[in-house]
């Protein structure tokens, strides 16, 4: 019994309500309400624990996604560099082919 309940009970006895039907009903209602308050407190703790757990999970997933994004950016940069190198090689080869074809045309003219 909480101190507040004990105080309420003592006050009821002093006021002469200890044995009356209203006092018993009020005590029953008080016990019922205290039980509900305890249940709500437990529910609140459970909900807070679930929220904390979900937040930890979300933070972990966000961190993992940030790592993945960084990996993809590095891979993309390597791929971009490789494409630029291949493009430069293709450009040089086309230029050589054009020179060779022009040289062959000059000789054949």
Picking from 25, 23, 1, the residue whose alpha carbon sits closest to that of residue 12 is 23
pLDDT of residue 107 exceeding 70, the answer is no
103 band by pLDDT with thresholds 50, 70 and 90: confident
Tell me the pLDDT tens digit for each residue of 47-101.
Answer: 999 999 999 999 999 999 999 999 999 999 999 999 999 999 999 999 999 999 9
3 band by pLDDT with thresholds 50, 70 and 90: low
- Treating both helix axes as pointing N-terminal to C-terminal, what angle do 3-14 and 21-108 enclose, rounded to 10 degrees? 150
DSSP three-state, residue 19: coil
**Higher local confidence (pLDDT), 107 or 54:** 54
């Amino acid at each position: 019994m909480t101190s507040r309940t004990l105080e309420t009970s003592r006050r009821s006895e002093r006021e002469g309500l200890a044995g009356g039907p209203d006092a018993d009903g009020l005590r029953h209602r008080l016990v019922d309400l205290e039980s509900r308050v305890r249940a709500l407190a437990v529910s609140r703790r459970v909900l807070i624990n679930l929220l904390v757990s979900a937040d930890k999970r979300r933070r972990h997933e966000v961190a993992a996604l940030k790592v993945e994004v960084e990996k993809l950016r590095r891979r993309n940069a390597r791929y971009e560099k490789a494409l630029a190198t291949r493009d430069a090689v293709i450009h040089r080869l086309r230029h050589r082919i054009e020179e060779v074809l022009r040289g062959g045309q000059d000789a054949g003219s």
